[in-house]
Structure 1
Amino acid sequence: MRKLAIAAAMAATLVSTQAFAEYPEKTINYIIPFNAGGESDVSARFQQPYLEELAGQSFVIQYMAGAGGAQAWSQLNGMEGDGYTIMGINLPHTILQPMEKDVGYETKDLTYINFFHYTPNALFVPKDSEFQSLGELVEYAKANPGLVTLSGSGSNSANHLGQVQFDELAGITTTYVPFSGTGPAVTAILGSQTTGGFNYVTSGVNNGDGMRMLAVASEQRVKAFPDVPTFKELGYNIVGGAFRGVAVPSSTPEPIREKISQLITDVNNNPEFQKKMEDAGFVLTDISYDFINDFVAAKSEEYREIAEKLGIANR
């Protein structure tokens, strides 16, 4: 009986190994936890043809917007972990959200696979706004506490953190208006529904005719916008933005996790893909599966210090 059990286990292992070797064998669903039109969607659309070419299978992009991404992330581990469902993942969202309140998931619950790009925050106003510079906006906000409204992609997102830092360092009070993703947050600026918004520098590439970028939260000026000063240049030590990548259900086997991560890395190494991303304002990164847990742990410490200082960490 023992020999039969051992033989059965070896056979199962062989079948399992063969299955992993042949992965993927069918369409992969790529879920974006925000609305269409935002950075997560744009970068996934850029990836799509390269992923399909490498994998030999279709990647179908779907949307599950709500609660600044939390609606999707809270459901991820309930999805089948067979490698045919992957989901967009964002930092600092998935670290800051659970710090403040119960959002249906904890940072440690999520299985991060690869972070492949970064986008700095930027402060925008409508093109026809009365504010021509950051200084003018700050002056108005000081004289009119709470009247300046700034849109952003969800509560406790990189955009929200940027707004809170800006208020503290500038000594002003603005009102943050969270939306379900970058797309609707930018629409609010374009339609002058808000005074302006903390969004990502990439938003200026596709919406430059309708918005004016007053400052960017990067160490150096962004090549695509050489005339836009950094917050640091203007006297505010604000450097931040969002890291984006992919995650999978926690039941996904290790070999498949590694294969998905390698697919993402291989796409990032494609020169044609690199040019598309950089022309759109993205900064490519390569934080693969082998290093991702250490990266998330380090970022958790970094964001916790900021969150506690700014009163976000209540849990």
Structure 2
Amino acid sequence: MKLTRRSFAQSLLAGSAVTLAAPGLLRAQSFPSRPLTYVIPFNPGGESDVTARFQQPFMEEITGQSVVISSRPGAGGATAWAQLNGLEADGHTIMNTIVPHTILQPALRDVGYQINEINNVYFFHYTPDAVIVRADSPYQSLQDLIDFAAANPGALTLGGSGTNTANHLAATIFGQLTDSRVTYVPFGGSAPAMAAVLGGQIGGGMSYTTQSINAGDQVRTLAVATEERVAAMPDVPTFKELGIDHVGGAYRGVAVPAGTPEDIKQRLSDIIGEINATPAFQQQMTEAGYVLADIPLADVPAFLEERKTAYASAIELLRGA
């Protein structure tokens, strides 16, 4: 074939494009090249920790690298999220994130980060709110609890994970919708909050369906904040069934430090998506009370904008709480 001046120039351009694309392509193909560190901003035993440990063996199988889970609890997750962008930005360190926490916290006080500084690559599950009391609690139904709270303003204590979090928001909304005043008690995570419920230190927990399932017959769950009853706990009514218009909970995802290359962010997004698509992982999550969500890297910006709009009134509610 005769190579003309034009075709020769086109060949050079094509070769240049391949050369320019190659570093990112090769980097993504060889990623990860060493063990991954998965930072959890809460105490062991909570939903973030549990789901990371569910993901861990699947992530190791997909990547061929070990995954080290590291807990950095504090301030309802804010301590770790404020440190995220100071970590090495090569994709080998990832961090659990939660919405609404990462939207509510910086909107309500100085926590050392802003939502637009959190580089989320995937949101992979949702945990619905649930009101949980100890099995021997005098509250046999949600109405019993509401009646006590209405008759004794502030006497009912409901514990949850941190301040300006999904649990805090749910407790505030619950008080508003039931015309009662409850006292919300923040803990370092949902696991220590549930330990306080079981120990009788607080009247109940504004927690998640997952904590209820994990505690088993030690607790009684009075209501869940879903559109329909949760398959793993079919005997528990929804708030809506009981005349309370509340559906809510927490979305959990994975983020990386600022400066992480886009091709590595996409590779991590693909890895989490592959885990979510694995039947064994799906079964594990469903049985534990989690609701899978699939919000990959490309869809994260739109999802966060939608959530910001949805929480705008909630932010004002918490400001006045």
Q: TM-score range by the shorter chain?
A: over 0.9
Please, which runs of 5 or more residues in structure 2 have no aligned partner? Answer: 1-16
Q: Distance in 2 between matches of 1:223 and 1:207?
A: 17
**SS of corresponding position for 1:30:** strand
Alignment correspondent of 2:128: 120
Larger gyration radius, structure 1 or structure 2:
2
Alignment correspondent of 1:3: none
**Superposition pairs of residues 26-65 of structure 1, within 5 angstroms:** 26-65=34-73
User: Could you state the TM-score of these two structures normalised by the residue count of structure 2?
Assistant: 0.92
Partner AA of 1:187 in structure 2: A
Please state if 1:234 is matched with 2:263.
no
Deviations 1:1-55 (A, max 9, x none): xxxxxxxx99787445423321111000000000000011111111000010001
8 Å CA contact 1:99–1:312 kept in 2: the answer is: no
Deviations 1:93-130 (A, max 9, x none): 00000111000000111101100000100000111111
Partner AA of 1:20 in structure 2: A
Q: Distance in 2 between matches of 1:10 and 1:229?
A: 58
Partner AA of 1:289 in structure 2: L
Alignment correspondent of 2:185: 177
Q: Distance in 2 between matches of 1:258 and 1:187?
A: 38
Identity between Structure 1 and Structure 2 (%): 50
Partner AA of 2:138 in structure 1: E
Deviations 1:253-291 (A, max 9, x none): 000000000000000000111000000000001000011
Q: Distance in 2 between matches of 1:208 and 1:123?
A: 14
Q: How many residues align?
A: 307
Q: Distance in 1 between matches of 2:171 and 2:116?
A: 26
Alignment correspondent of 2:231: 223
**Superposition pairs of residues 262-281 of structure 1, within 5 angstroms:** 262-281=270-289
8 Å CA contact 1:66–1:72 kept in 2: the answer is: yes
**SS of corresponding position for 1:52:** helix
**Superposition pairs of residues 1-315 of structure 1, within 5 angstroms:** 14-15=22-23, 17-308=25-316, 310-312=317-319
Q: Distance in 1 between matches of 2:19 and 2:227?
A: 55
Give the superposition deviation at 1:151. Answer: 0.3
Please, which runs of 5 or more residues in structure 1 have no aligned partner? Answer: 1-8
Partner AA of 1:312 in structure 2: R
Flag the 1:54–1:120 CA change in 2: closer, same or farther, 3 A. same
Give the superposition deviation at 1:240. Answer: 0.1
Q: Distance in 1 between matches of 2:37 and 2:22?
A: 27
Give the superposition deviation at 1:312. Answer: 2.8
Deviation >6 Å, runs of 4+: 9-13
Partner AA of 1:305 in structure 2: S
Partner AA of 2:44 in structure 1: A
